[in-house]
Amino acid sequence: MRIYNGAYELMPGIKFYSPNRLYEYSFTENKIVIHAIIEQGNIPEKVHGRILSYTISSPFPDALRIQIRHLQPRQMIKFDTLNCLSPLELKDTPESLMITSGQLGIKFEKEKWAYSFFTDSVLSESSYESAGIVFDHNNKEYITEKLSLGVGELVYGLGERFSPFVRNGQSVVIRNSDPATESDLGYKNIPFYMTNRGYGIFINTPAFADFEICTEDVHAVRMSVPLNELDYFIFYGPRPKSIINHYTHVTGRPPLIPKWSLGLWLTTSFTTEYSEKVITEQIDEMFRRKIPLSVFHFDCYWMKERHWCNFLWDTDSFPDPKGMISRLKKKGLKICLWINPYISELSEIFDEAAEQGFFIRNAQGGVYQQDWWQPGLAMIDFTNPGACEWYKDKLRTLLDVGVDTFKTDFGESAPVDGIYYSGVDGSQIHNYYTYLYNKTVFELLTRYFGENNTIVFARSATTGSQKFPVHWGGDSQARYTSMYGQLRGGLSFGISGCALWSHDIGGFYEKPRADIYKRWIAFGLLSSHSRLHGNDSFRVPWNFDEESCDVLRHFSELKSRLIPYLYGLCYEASVTGLPLMRPMLMEFPDDPGVDYLDRQYMLGPSLLVAPVFTTGGEVTFYLPKGTWTNFLTGRKVQGGQWISETHDFFSLPLYVRENSIIPTGPAGQDAFSTGCKNTLLTLYNIKTSAQCYLYDDKEILVTVQKKDDGIRIDVSDTISGLMIKIHGSVESIHCEKRTLFIRSENMSIEE
C-alpha cells in the first residue's frame, strides 16, 4: 500500500505515525527489545505518546529477525520456521546502538529515529519517518517499513510471478488467487525477496503483505502488513545461493524426491473423454514409438462430473479401477490422481464431512458454500486436525489400490470471511491454506511410502510449500508469449526458495500449433519435471505431426541420460534449498550482464539452457565469460558475449560451463532403475576445480582439481562401472578406485 502520494503528502484517508527517537531498551545475550517513542505534537514530554517496540534476535550468524509491534500481539499465525536463537553483540554509544550477528549488523540512531543494516558497508536504510503505524480510511491498522535501495539495485522474487522478472516498478500484494498466467496475480505468492546487493528479506506472516517496489519511492521498497506486528528477517549472503540457503534453513527444504518423478508424465488432459481403452492405446503407442514414459496421470474425470471430490471412481468409464491400475503398473508406470480440497454438495461424502464439522463455516455457523467450480461447493477446514485425518483416510483407500501420488490442484480460494476451527481470522488463513492442504497430503504419502519416495503435483504455494514438492505453473496459453511467461514464473519461483517446478508442455488452454508444441517440448524436458497436459485435447505427439513424435523421443532420451546429473541436483536441493532451474544471476552474481536475463537459465550449476520462442528457431542469448561447450554438438565458444543462433526442432542452445562435471547414464526407462551404476563423468574444460553430487541411497561427492601435469579426481564412495572422460578425448577410463590422477598429455592413470 502507498503511504505517501508523492514526496509531500499522505495518500487520502491515511494516518501515519512514525517514531521520533529511541526511548529505552533492554538486552539479553540472545534478544534486544527497543522501545521507540512516537510523540504527539505539542503534548508535554513524558505524557501520552505511542510506543513502537522492536525486538531484535538472530536465528544464526548473518541473519537478523526484526519484530516491530504496536501494543500486545493479537491472535495471529506465522509460518513454520526454525526456532533457535544465536548470540548477539551489542555496542552502545551516546549516538547509537549497534547490534551484530556474524557479519551482519543493524545500527539504530538514538535521537532522530532511523536505522541501517550493514556489513563492511551499508546494505539498506530505514530513514526517519520510514517505519511506523498506519491507519487506513476504515481505521484498519498496519505496520509499515521502508528500506532503501542503492543505485542499480534490483529486486527479485516474491513467489511465482509471470510479470517481468525484475520487480522494480511493481506493486505486489501477497495474496494467492486462481488467475491463470497472463496477469500480475499468482497462484504462489511468497513474502520473500532478494536483491543483487547481497541480502534477502522475508516477512514472517501469511497475511496479505504488501510491497511497493520503487513505486511510492523510486529508491526504496515499502512493505506493510495488515496487523499490529511486522515480523521480518534479513539474510546476508552475499551470494544469491547463500541467501537461498539461509532462507530455506529458516523455512524448510524439500526432501529428496523419488527418481521416477523426473521422467515424462502423460495425462488424460482435463475435459477430454477417456476410458481405460483410450488411455491404454495412448500409452502403448508411446512405448511403440520408443518414447520413455514414467507417470500416467488421471485428471478430474476419474470421478463423476459435479461430484468432485468424492474420491470414488466413475465406474461407467472405469469399471475395474484396481485391475486397470495393476495393468498400467505392469507397464512400468506410476499412477497419479487429480484431487482438490473442495467437496461438491452432490458428493457422497458431503454430509459426512458436514456432520463432523470438517468444513469451513460461515458467519451464521453453517457450512460455507458457493456455487462455483462444483454445485454447492464446501472447503475442507485444514486448521481442524480431525478434518486432516479424515481427508487422509479418504486418500488412503486410493493408495491401497495402487495410486502413487496426487495432483493437489487448487487451494488458492480459502474465504477471508470464513470461520475456521483454529479461530484465526480468514485473512491470515487464506494464503496459509495451501500449506496446510499440501502438508496433509504429503504427510500421508510419506507415511505410506516412506522418506524419499513422496511427491505431489501442486499448483498453489506459500512460504514453506517448498517442503512439499513439486509445483507446476498453472493454466498457461498455447502461445510463445505464455511459454516465456512460464519461464519467468519458474525463475521467480526458484529465486523465492522453491527448488522443483514444472509446467504444461504446449500450454494448457487451446491446442498449440505443432511448432509451439515442439519448441515447448525442449523447454519442458529441460525443466526439473516434465508433463504433457492440456485442457480439451490430448497432448500425445501424434496429434500434432509425425516430427513431434521424433522431437519428444529425442528430448525424453536426452533428459533420461541426464538423470544422474539431475538427481544429484535434487539431493543438493534437499540439503541447500537451491533450485534446479536457476536465474543466471544465481550462478554469475558478479556479471552485471545477467541482472535482467529471463529468457535463459542455468539447469544446475553447469548447463545453460536458452529456450527457443520463435517458429523459425531464431534465438539470442548471453554467455558469461569463460569457455562454453555445446552439449549437443561439442562446439566450443568463448563467453562474455551475446550469441545468435538458429535451431531446428531437435536442438536449442544447451551449453556446458567450464570447470564442470556432467554425469550421464543410460537413455530410456533404464535411467530410473540403475542407480549410479555405469555412470559416465564427462569433464569439461577443467581449468581450476569442479564438483558434482551423485545419489544412490547415499550422497556421493565427486571433486576434480587441475594440477600442473594433469587432473586429480576424488570420488567419496565406490561406484560400480564408473567411467570418466575428458570432453574432446576419444577414450573413457574405468574408475575403480576412489582417487585417481589423469596425466593430461597421454590420458594415463595413476591410482
| H helix runs in 149-275, sequence order | 240-251
DSSP states of 699-725? EEEEEEEEETTEEEEEESS--TT-EEE
393: amino acid identity, one letter: D
Residues in the chain: 751
State the Cα–Cα distance between residues 425 and 231, nearest whole angstrom.
18
State the Cα–Cα distance between residues 306 and 300, nearest whole angstrom.
10
Query: Do the Cβ atoms of 243 and 199 come closer than 8 Å?
Result: yes
Query: Do the Cβ atoms of 101 and 62 come closer than 8 Å?
Result: yes
Q: Which three cell numbers stand for residue 397?
A: 483407500
Q: Output the furthest CA–CA distance in the chain (Å, rounded).
A: 88
Angle at which helix 563-576 crosses helix 546-561, to 10 degrees, equals 60
State the Cα–Cα distance between residues 171 and 162, nearest whole angstrom.
14
Query: Do the Cβ atoms of 91 and 97 come closer than 8 Å?
Result: yes
Query: Which residues are within 8 A (CB) of 559 and not within 5 positions of it... i.e. 6 or more apart?
Result: 262, 263, 264, 525, 526, 530, 566
Peptide bond just before 172 cis, omega within 30 deg: no
Q: Which residue bears the cell 513524558?
A: 46
State the Cα–Cα distance between residues 741 and 331, nearest whole angstrom.
44
DSSP states of 563-629? HHHHHHHHHHHHHH---SEE-HHHH-TT-GGGTT--S-EEETTTEEE----SSS-EEEEEE-SSEEE
From residue 249, alpha-carbon distances to 59, 180, 229, 233, 566 in Å are 9, 31, 23, 12, 22
262: amino acid identity, one letter: L
State the Cα–Cα distance between residues 661 and 663, nearest whole angstrom.
6
Q: What is the DSSP-derived secondary structure letter of residue 402?
A: T
Active site residue: 145, 210, 216, 412, which one?
412
Cα dihedral: 592, 598, 604, 610 (round 10): -110
Is 475 a known active-site residue?
Answer: yes
Is 62 a known active-site residue?
Answer: no
State the Cα–Cα distance between residues 542 and 545, nearest whole angstrom.
5
Helix, strand, or coil here: 139? Answer: coil
Cα(first)–Cα(last) distance of the chain, in Å?
65
Active site residue: 475, 504, 557, 658, which one?
475
Query: Do the Cβ atoms of 551 and 559 come closer than 8 Å?
Result: no
Beta bridge partner(s), residue 613: none
State the Cα–Cα distance between residues 636 and 5, nearest whole angstrom.
54
Active site residue: 216, 229, 231, 409, which one?
409
Q: Which three cell numbers stand for residue 15?
A: 494516518
For strands 374-379 and 342-343, give the pairing. Answer: antiparallel
Query: CA triplet 519, 520, 522: central angle to 5 degrees?
Result: 70
Nearest to 682 by CA among 609, 742, 612, 637: 742
For strands 295-298 and 334-339, give the pairing. Answer: parallel
State the Cα–Cα distance between residues 705 and 686, nearest whole angstrom.
8
Q: Which three cell numbers stand for residue 288?
A: 511403440
State the Cα–Cα distance between residues 281 and 667, nearest whole angstrom.
23
HSE at residue 249, side-chain half, CA atoms within 13 A, is 18
Q: What is the DSSP-derived secondary structure letter of residue 207?
A: S
* Residue 39 burial class via C-beta count within 10 angstroms: exposed 0-12, middle 13-18, buried 19 and up: middle
Query: Do the Cβ atoms of 185 and 179 come closer than 8 Å?
Result: yes
Residues tagged active-site: 409, 412, 475
